[in-house]
Amino acid sequence: DVKVTQSSRYLVKRTGEKVFLECVQDMDHENMFWYRQDPGLGLRLIYFSYDVKMKEKGDIPEGYSVSREKKERFSLILESASTNQTSMYLCASSRARGLANYGYTFGSGTRLTVV
């Protein structure tokens, strides 16, 4: 069964800490995405990647960076965590465009609390 795995389900960090959220997929998907999900705001795209070492900013990249050194792994980095980054973070992957049914497969999410 296809799978997207996020390393932590729940995480509590202190303000100012550098935080790493890891995402691994085993489907050989080209595209990977990081979203945050907040009540009333829905899913907002932070960053995405279409290939190893490639990255593109989404709609809300400020305060975040990403790393994709291997095809299967996409990391989200909070350079200096702040309380307004408390949220549910969802990773997703998909096949490259041009193939049928290239919808997303999501990970289970990481609920991050910054105190």
Residues that bind other proteins (CB under 8 A): 4, 30-31, 33, 40-43, 45, 48, 50, 56, 90, 94-97, 101-109, 111
Tell the smallest beta-carbon distance from residue 34 to other proteins (Å).
Answer: 12
Of 17 and 28, CB closest to other proteins: 28
Of 17 and 26, CB closest to other proteins: 26
Of 14 and 40, CB closest to other proteins: 40
Sorted by sequence, the CB contacts under 8 Å of residue 71 that are 6+ apart come out as 28, 30, 51, 52
| ∠ Cα 45 56 18 (to 5°) | 70
Tell the smallest beta-carbon distance from residue 36 to other proteins (Å).
Answer: 12
Beta strand segments in the chain, E: 4-6, 10-13, 19-25, 31-38, 42-49, 56-57, 64-70, 73-78, 87-94, 105-106, 110-114
Tell the smallest beta-carbon distance from residue 81 to other proteins (Å).
Answer: 22
> Residue 59 and residue 20: Cα distance in Å, rounded?
20
CB 12 within 8 A of CB 113: yes
Tell the smallest beta-carbon distance from residue 80 to other proteins (Å).
Answer: 27
Of 31 and 87, CB closest to other proteins: 31
